[in-house]
């Protein structure tokens, strides 16, 4: 299985978690503070889902740009650059939501925390269920599939 399959599986699990967090946090927010709580739960789940998607996309794009060479500094530059972008966007979003009276910031905060913990769990499950070889392009002596024979 390739890294693309792993990222697809992680995205699928992350989407399931984001929808679950949106429903649960939105419902709890609705009952605790009305419409602002509902919006806080929905925005928290949505922001987390976008960030999950950006992480997976950055890894896939970095893999294509470097032709699968994860030791290439460009790979790390792309992934780290997207990480910094996500950090800046999150800080700006948190400041804007804190100042916006239509959204309950406490429900937003807990929705983001729940979504992050849930997607980390989803990533662990995706990684545990995916068979990715440790070494991919090794030519062993005596491997008839690669045209080698033992001398």
First to last CA, the chain: 32
Tokens of 137: 């392009």
Rounded to two decimals, the pTM is 0.70
H or E element at residue 116: helix 105-129
**Cα–Cα dist 130/21, whole Å:** 25
Using alpha carbons, select from 26, 24, 28 the residue that is nearest to residue 39.
26
Q: What are the pLDDT digits (tens) for 19-34?
A: 999 999 999 999 998 9
101-140, pLDDT tens digit by residue? 888 888 988 998 898 888 888 777 777 777 656 666 666 6
Measured distance CA(45)–CA(144) in Å, rounded: 51
Which sequence spans correspond to the domains of the chain?
3-132
Write out pLDDT tens, residues 73-90: 888 898 899 989 988 988
């Amino acid at each position: 299985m390739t890294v693309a399959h792993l990222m697809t599986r992680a995205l699928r699990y992350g989407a399931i978690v984001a929808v679950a967090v949106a429903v649960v946090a939105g419902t709890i927010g609705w009952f605790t503070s009305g419409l602002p709580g509902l919006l806080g739960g929905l925005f928290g789940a949505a922001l987390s889902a976008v960030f999950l998607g950006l992480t997976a996309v950055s890894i896939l794009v970095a893999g294509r740009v470097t032709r699968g060479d994860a030791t290439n500094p460009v790979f790390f530059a792309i992934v780290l650059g997207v990480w910094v972008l996500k950090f800046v966007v999150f800080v700006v979003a948190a400041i804007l939501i804190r100042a916006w009276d239509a959204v309950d910031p406490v429900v937003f905060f807990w929705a983001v925390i729940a979504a992050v913990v849930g997607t980390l769990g989803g990533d662990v499950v995706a990684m545990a269920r995916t068979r990715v070889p440790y070494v991919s392009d090794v030519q062993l002596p005596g491997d008839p599939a690669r045209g080698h024979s033992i001398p």
